[in-house]
Amino acid sequence: MSNTSQQVKRQYNLGVRHKKSHITTTSYSYAQHCEHQYITNKMSNIRTIHDTPTASSNRFSMSPIGGNPIYVGTLFGIEITLHPLLLLYFVISAALPWLLNSSTMTMKVWLYLVVVNIPLLFGTVLLHELGHCFATRKVGGEVHGILLWPLGGLAYIGHSGDAKDDLIVSIAGPLTHIPQALLWYGLSQAFTQGTFMDMLCVQALWLNISLMLFNLFIPCYPLDGGRIFAASLQLMKVRVDIAAKICAFVSLVCALGIGLYGFLYNEIIAMFIGFWCAQESYNLYVHTKEERLQEHQLFSKYAIETNDGPYNQI
Ligand SMILES: [Zn+2]
C-alpha cells in the first residue's frame, strides 16, 4: 500500500459521517423542430451533479455559471430562483420561431411553441427537482433551494444518509414524470384530437416519458442515471474504487453517445451535455487513479463510509 493509500485509509477510518451534499441538475436538449407540424420534439434528459450545498440566503453562490439568481417565489418552503440567462433563453425561444419561419408562422403555432418551450418545459423540470427535494426531506436531509437556468434546473440538497438514501433521492426526480405523464394523458382524452390543447397534452406526455426513460436508464454520471448506477453498485457491495472505475467507463461511453447524438442531429445542447459528462467521467477516473476518491463529489462519502477504506485490498 502506498503512502497515499495509507493516508486515505487513515482518513476513512476517522469514521466521520460527512453530510452527503449534492446538487441535482435537470437539463434538456432539443430535437429538431418538425418543419411541417411545428411541433417541438424534445429529447430531454436529467443530469445530477454533486457539489457543496450553499446557504439559500446566498443566491449568488448557488449559480453554476455566475450571475445573480432572481428570486421568484417559495414552494413548500423551497426557494425558487431563475438564472438571468434563463430570461435570455425565454426571449430567444419566443423570437426564434418567428425569425426562422416568418413566412409560414401563425400566431397559434407560435403560441404553441412558446408554451411548450417555456412554461411546459420548465414546469416539468421544476416538478422533477421538487421530487429530489421531497425525497431529500424524506431521508432526513435539507433542501437549500432550486435554481432554474438555461440548461434545466438545479436542486441544492444535502443529506447524511447512505447509498440507499442516495438511490431514493436520485430516483425520485425521474419518478415524478409518471404522475405527470398520466395527468397529461388523462387531459388529452378530454380534448378533440388535433386541437391546440390536445397537441399540447400529447407533447407534454412525450416530454415526461422521454425525461423519465432517459434519466432512469442512461447510467451517465453526473446525470441522474449515473447516480442511480453508482448507488446501486454500492448497494451491491462493489468495492468503492472498482465501482468508481466502472462508473467512469460507463459514463464516458454514454457521454460519447450523447455527444454523437448531438453532433448527428445538430443539437448543440446535447453536444454540450456530452462534453460535460465526458469531462466529469474523466475527472472521476483521475480521482480513482490517483486514489483521491475521498475528494470526489460523488464517491467521497462512499469512500468514507467504507470501514477499511476502498484500497484495503490493493
Ligand atoms: Zn434529477
Rounded distance from Cα 10 to ligand 1 centre (Å): 34
Do residues 149 and 65 touch, judged by C-beta distance below 8 A?
yes
Q: Which three cell numbers stand for residue 111?
A: 403560441
Q: Strand, coil or helix: what is 301? A: helix
CA–CA separation, 20 vs 298, rounded Å?
A: 9
Percentage of the chain exceeding pLDDT 90: 51
Q: What is the pLDDT of residue 305?
A: 56
Rounded distance from Cα 256 to ligand 1 centre (Å): 20
Do residues 240 and 303 touch, judged by C-beta distance below 8 A?
yes
Rounded distance from Cα 61 to ligand 1 centre (Å): 20
276-292: pLDDT as tens digits: 889 999 999 999 999 88
B/e letters for 76-89, b = 16+ CB within 10 Å, e = fewer, are eebbbbbbeebeeb
Neighbours of ion ligand 1 (CB under 5 A): 24, 46, 173, 224
Do residues 244 and 222 touch, judged by C-beta distance below 8 A?
no
Rounded distance from Cα 6 to ligand 1 centre (Å): 36
CA atoms within 13 A on the CB side of 266: 2
Rounded distance from Cα 218 to ligand 1 centre (Å): 12
Cβ neighbors of 208 (< 8 A, separation 6 or more) are 124, 177, 178, 180, 181, 184
pTM, two decimal places: 0.77
Q: Which of 43-57, 150-164, 240-254, 286-300 has the lowest mean pLDDT?
A: 43-57
128-173: pLDDT as tens digits: 999 999 999 999 999 989 999 877 788 888 888 889 999 999 999 9
